[in-house]
Structure 1
């Protein structure tokens, strides 16, 4: 059975943490092997140990980026967990439509957007249930650390298995078309989303404040101080009264007491009480 030497795993942990702030816990050697063995084979190497040897050499920056990319977790699906998107439709978007009637603008940011199912789901909710917003300036910004998943997201093409995971059949028929063995999202939905690379763990560049910030199932991968630093930046990114959505097992409790929990239906949103 393939194994990973302790010094090699320690090097991978340091590299991933330095570049992404993601913490690999002891005992996750199996994860490193499963993610990096394909990369080692592609590089013509016989083991992950040899791959680490290559990483230690000068001029290996490109390979190091590929390793960090491979070690990021990209689990996602359309309408993931269902209830947050029901709340988005029934509670949050109607509130924003009323609040932003004067500007006719809504800004949404999906951070750690992976292969795009989450931002496209948001766009589908907007187009399907709020036809009056067709004349508004609705912008959905989707970001991720991984250039690989961003390229797939931007292409807007999904396998049968991917569309089977959470996407209602009626929406598939209405907003997608066959593209060989895949399904391609309609240009109308695709144009609503812009994709860009972004590292949550470094200082964020100044951008227009957003009404909604999706940060789901991301904080769980960071240490305590990184979580607190990210939430401080979330506060600055949100428009006054804007909403933050975390994953079902995540909370701002004990991390940042300037956020208040705002239950809407079966979903807990968070709102900053200060800028």
Structure 2
């Protein structure tokens, strides 16, 4: 790939999604965008780049951005955040929200839905403890195709075998051929919406708990700080933020502080 073409694509992707690409990631562009060019009936990556440069095709820009977005996800991924949600966050909510009995949860960059649906199943399993409470779960992502899959709640045998306990599979899924369909009682607990973390956060409302795991690692330091600043603006002072195991707020923002002894869990700084 020509240097000028790489720089053009890297700039476009950074501006549209926050994704930071270094020259050693040329192979990633080629491996993900060449199949897209073929599906669009183009002769190759050069033709795709030329169309991007000359036509200003918004749909093509979205397709390229979606193709480059990492959508890795599986049920109860990394386990620790879900344990903390159950043992630290929910007890805190029981005390702090005892009057309104309402908790709003946001899964930012929720991909194909396994994270929010894992939370929904956890809450369903504990519904006897939460009689009279309302839990709202919003999952957002920049990619329309992963949102469509998430809304459908249909997963392959491989996908349900990744992290999902067998008892939850048998209880909350129906097998249809070679796939598994999540039952409406769980699907209806989650709302999905297309949202770009680089955009303004107006209209999202307030959230007591935010999961923003394994997405900020693709942002540069400035965009990480800006995104965390905006997330902070959506949260009350006693809220909780989950980041990925390899992520931190240290040296990036003072808006959040680590919850002592709880890896990956943060609270808004006063």
The TM-score bracket by the shorter chain reads over 0.9
CA distance in 2, matches of 1:256, 1:141: 25
Aligned-pair Cα RMSD in Å: 1.4
Q: Secondary structure at the match of 1:217?
A: coil
1:157 and 2:154 are equivalent in the alignment? yes
After superposing the two structures, state which structure 1 stretch, 180-189 or 106-115, moved more.
180-189
SS at the partner of 1:210?
Answer: coil
Q: Which of 28, 31, 38 is equivalent to 2:28?
A: 31
The 1:59/1:228 distance shift into structure 2, 3 A limit, reads closer
Partner of 1:122: 119
Q: Which moved more, 1:150-159 or 1:49-58?
A: 49-58
Query: Following TM superposition, by how much is the alpha carbon of 1:72 offset from its aligned partner in structure 2, in angstroms?
Result: 0.7
The 1-side partners of 2:190 and 2:131 are apart by 14
Alignment of 1:158-173 (within 5 A): 158-173=155-170
How far 1:189 moved relative to its partner? Answer: 0.8
Q: Which residue of 2 aligns with 1:270?
A: 266
State the alpha-carbon separation in 2 of the partners of residues 35 and 8 from structure 1.
15
1:143 aligned counterpart, secondary structure: strand
**Greater share of strand:** 1
Q: Normalization by structure 1: what TM-score?
A: 0.94
In structure 1, the partner of 2:140 is 143
Q: Which 5+ residue runs of structure 1 have no aligned equivalent?
A: none
| Native 8 Å contact 1:217 1:246 kept in 2 | yes
2:255 is the counterpart of 1:245: no
Match of 2:196 in 1: 199
- Runs (4+) of structure 1 exceeding 3 A deviation are none
**Quick one: distance in 1 between partners of 2:255 and 2:201?**
19
Question: Is the Cα contact below 8 Å between 2:6 and 2:23 reproduced in 1?
Answer: no
| 1: CA distance, partners of 2:114 / 2:152 | 12
Counterpart-to-counterpart distance in 1, 2:254 and 2:193: 30
For 1:68 and 1:226, locate their aligned partners in 2 and report how far apart those are by CA, in whole Å. 17
Question: 2:232 maps to which residue?
Answer: 235
Deviation at 1:134, TM superposition (A): 5.3
| Residue 98, structure 1, aligned to residue 95, structure 2 | yes
Question: Is 1:127–1:134's contact at 8 Å kept on the other side of the alignment?
Answer: no
Structure 1 residues 183 and 134 mapped into 2: Cα distance closer, same or farther (>3 Å)?
farther
1:68 is aligned, of 65, 68, 93, to 65
Give the paired residue count.
270
More deviation, 213-222/251-260: 251-260
Question: What is the TM-score normalised by the length of structure 2?
Answer: 0.96
Q: Which one of the candidate residues 26, 49, 56 is aligned to 2:53?
A: 56
CA distance in 2, matches of 1:165, 1:17: 31
Report the counterpart of residue 215 of structure 1 in structure 2.
212
Deviations 1:209-246, CA, capped at 9 Å, x for gaps = 11100000111111111011011111111122000000
CA apart distance, 1:163: 0.6
